[in-house]
Structure formats: C-alpha cells, structure tokens
Chains A and B, each alone.
Chain A
Amino acid sequence: MTPSDLPLWAAWTIVAVTVFGSLLALIGSVGLVVLKRFYERIHAPTLGATLGMALIVVASVAFWSLTEGRPALPDLLIGVFLTVTTPVTLILLARAAVYRDRVEGDKAAPPE
C-alpha cells in the first residue's frame, strides 16, 4: 500500500496528530523567545521535546505501519532516545547556568 492508498480517515487522523505535535513545538519555541529569564526559558522547549515529539512519533509509527501493512516500530527508537536524553541535557545546562550565576554573585540565581 502506498501513501495515496491510505483511507481518508487515517490520513486526517495522522495529519491532526502531527499538526497538534508541531503546534506544541511551536508554542515551546515562542516561549523560548518571549519569557524573560533563563530559568523560565529553560522550561519552554520541553513542551516540544516531550508531548510534541511523542505525538509526531506516534503519527509516524501509525503512518508507516499502515503504509507497509505491518508494525513499523523503528520510529519509537527516537521517542525512547529523546525521552531519556532531554532531562539529562536540560539538567546539565541548568546546573551550568546556576554555577555561572553563583560565581558571578548574581542575585537572580537560585539559592543553595
């Protein structure tokens, strides 16, 4: 089955889920620009990195499973990998930022 043979309801569902995931990623990026402080900003991209990513991965798995007519699970690898790595990167980055702010004696840095 090629993508053009997908049933219409499946195409609409895949598109709706993908658009919602992209919308979450967009909202996260808007927050990255709009929010004022670094410690507020660091929360914004997680919207796209968790639920946005998960929705797009689910849509991708559904699309390839329907197109190929068998469970196509490799896309879940991306989901698992990002779920594991996103908290690690953001914790490391936040700790580096806190360390830098404290060294400079910034009053806005979180207390010990």
Chain B
Amino acid sequence: MTASAVLYWGLGAAQAMLLLAMLLAALRMMRGPRAQDRVLGLDTLYLNAMLLILVQGMRSGVSLYFEAALIIGMVGFTATVALAKFLMRGEVIE
C-alpha cells in the first residue's frame, strides 16, 4: 500500500467513527430527557464535528480546514456557556 492509500482509508475509518459519535450525540440531544441532557448532547456534537473537520483536513491535504475547526470550537464553547447560563438564570444577559 502507498502512503496516500493508507492515509485515505485509515483516516476514512477515523471519520466514520467520529460520524457515528456525532449520530449518538444527536440521539442524546433529541431524546433529552431534560434540557441539560440536550445541551450536553449539543456540546458533544460540535466537539465531534470539530474533530471530524480536523481529520478531513489531513485526509484532503488542504490546510484551510484548520480555521473552520478552530471557529467551530470557539462558537461551540460560547453556545454551551450561554445555554448553561440560560438554564441557571432563565436569561443570558442580565
């Protein structure tokens, strides 16, 4: 096997695992049962999506994917903190 074939199939397998992880997190997000479970599911979902994009960057050899992953990480962090604040207080900005 050549190096590019190893990278293509191996990183593809890693992406399949991350995709399955995203599906499971989405399942938890839809099932609930309570709001904090849904927020936790969303947190896991964006984290796995970020890792998936990072692996996609390696698989395709395009370094631009790094910025997308970084921005998803930052926006996801803000979203989870805002949602946790909302669950605690009932409003985001007091």
Contact = CB atoms under 8 A, between A and B. Distances in A.
B24 A32 contact: yes
Chain B, interface SS category: helix
Interface residues of B, number: 52
Nearest to B47: A49
Interface in A80-99: 81-82, 85, 88-90, 92-93, 95-97, 99
Contact of B55 (A28, A56, A90): A56
B41 to A, nearest CB: 7
B70 A78 contact: yes
Interface of B: 1-4, 6-7, 10-11, 13-15, 17-18, 20-22, 24-25, 27-28, 34-37, 39-41, 43-44, 47-48, 50-51, 54-55, 57-58, 61, 63, 66, 69-70, 73-74, 77, 80-81, 83-85, 87-88
Given A8-B1, A85-B73, A96-B87, 6 more contacts: A21-B14, A38-B37, A48-B48, A52-B51, A78-B70, A95-B88
